[in-house]
């Protein structure tokens, strides 16, 4: 397992060891004791989504009950992004991104308190992710994917395909400060 730090402290790229042989390959995608060594707490909910090229899901966050997310692509390719939206964080409004694919088998750790999203850069993406807390629709909200104050450089050709919820999201500056996770809550 290779663990790669990103420019956002706490956000990690993980490269599990792949055991290939004449039959195909094997890899471990989660092990509580080993992942705890990298600061990843126990994971309680597993999700899967399938999206076609040009779909953009996000930016999503829950607060309270912020979810840390261990994300991975089983088939296809996405550009995956984490944004630090914790009030008081020295990296507030900063983003980092990584290409995840069935080919590179990389995982991306998005800590609690970060907004998360991805755009499908392959023909499709079978996307799976494990969460540190349960889905809480009453505390979930979206941040605009194209918030100029965040300035994510999405590898996009044209306008992305968004859900109604994501198309109506607000920019960070228009979200009341007390609605945002605090750095102290999730440092």
Distance, in Å, from the CA atom of 184 to the CA atom of 176, rounded to the nearest integer, reads 17
Can you tell me which of 15, 29, 54, 60 binds ligand T46, judged by CB under 6 A? 60
Can you tell me which of 4, 37, 49, 52 binds ligand T46, judged by CB under 6 A? 49
Phi, psi at residue 33, to the nearest 5°? -70, -40
Determine, following the binding rule CB under 6 A, whether residue 124 of this chain makes contact with ligand T46.
Answer: no
Candidates 26-34, 56-64, 89-97, 168-176: pick the segment binding ligand T46 (CB under 6 A): 56-64
The CA-based diameter of the chain, rounded to the nearest angstrom, is: 56
Determine, following the binding rule CB under 6 A, whether residue 58 of this chain makes contact with ligand T46.
Answer: yes
Structure tokens at 64: 């309270």
Candidates 15-23, 98-106, 113-121, 150-158: pick the segment binding ligand T46 (CB under 6 A): 113-121
First to last CA, the chain: 25
| List of residues 6+ apart from 115 with CB closer than 8 A | 58, 59, 60, 61, 82, 83, 85, 143
Of 60, 94, 124, 170, the active-site residue reads: 60
Could you list the residues that contact ligand T46 (CB under 6 A)? 47, 49, 57-58, 60, 69, 116-118, 135, 163
Residues with catalytic roles: 60, 129
């Amino acid at each position: 397992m290779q663990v790669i730090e990103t420019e956002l402290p706490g956000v990690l790229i993980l490269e599990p060891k792949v055991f290939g042989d004449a039959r195909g390959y094997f890899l471990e995608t989660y092990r509580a004791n080993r992942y705890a060594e990298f600061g990843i707490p126990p994971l309680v909910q597993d999700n899967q989504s399938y999206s076609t090229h040009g779909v953009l899901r996000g930016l999503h966050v829950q607060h309270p009950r912020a979810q840390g997310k261990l994300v991975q692509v089983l088939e296809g390719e996405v550009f995956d992004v984490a944004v630090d939206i914790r009030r008081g964080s020295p990296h507030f409004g900063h983003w980092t991104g990584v290409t995840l694919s069935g080919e590179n088998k990389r995982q991306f750790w998005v800590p609690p308190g970060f907004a998360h999203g991805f755009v499908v850069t392959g023909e499709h993406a079978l996307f799976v992710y494990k969460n540190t807390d349960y889905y809480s629709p009453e505390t979930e909200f979206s941040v605009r994917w194209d918030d100029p104050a965040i300035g994510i450089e999405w590898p996009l050709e044209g306008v992305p395909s968004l859900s109604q919820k994501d198309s109506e999201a607000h920019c960070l500056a228009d979200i009341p400060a007390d609605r945002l996770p605090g750095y102290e809550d999730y440092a």
